[in-house]
Chain A
């Protein structure tokens, strides 16, 4: 059974930083692209970032490019998202998600999410 367990969310001040993690299990982590998708309170889904299976290729939404960094440790079956220069509008539930295969818009499994709140 595929499981994606996010952690590391919390309250942070504007301009601050946070790293969120996603522990994956139930599948061969190192052959799938992975993604982060966020959802602000009461709003729709917003794609944030993705990373190829080996970690060599990364992709970012314009809204987070140069502020967020996606990475993965295939030896630990873990996906990360480093969030820097946080803004109030970054407040959202951040979902870790597994891509169906290589990088694409097909996301076949989602974690339960971790809430990041940016507020003073």
Chain B
């Protein structure tokens, strides 16, 4: 399968911890990466590989993976974390890249 499935929407109280998940068969073979997108802006690279943060990404963002599920965890969510989050991975053939449908995170 070349699909990655994400929950359409998730909410979290300010300062609490939230996990955003991404499911797909290809995640058994390839690590996901995660992107944050705010309205009207380009995506921002936030997590890749086993659990790597690009320079400038706060350490409250972390990643993990188990079986066919990759997760992005925000520990102590801030108001500025409200955004759409997308996962991606290679597909099962390894030749193509696929994105999940995105998760809209609301910080209450």
Task: List residues of A whose CB falls within 8 A of some B CB.
Answer: 35, 37, 44-47, 50, 59, 61-62, 95, 100, 104-113
Contact = CB atoms under 8 A, between A and B. Distances in A.
Tell me what chain A mostly uses at the interface: helix, strand, loop, or mixed: strand
Contacts of A35: 97
The list of the 10 closest CB pairs from A to B, nearest first, reads A47-B97, A110-B42, A44-B102, A45-B99, A105-B97, A106-B48, A105-B88, A108-B45, A106-B33, A44-B101
A6 B95 CA distance: 25
Tell me what chain B mostly uses at the interface: helix, strand, loop, or mixed: strand
Interface in B25-40: 30, 32-33, 35, 37
Contacts of A108: 45, 54
A58 to B, nearest CB: 11
Interface residues of B, number: 25
B99 A46 contact: yes
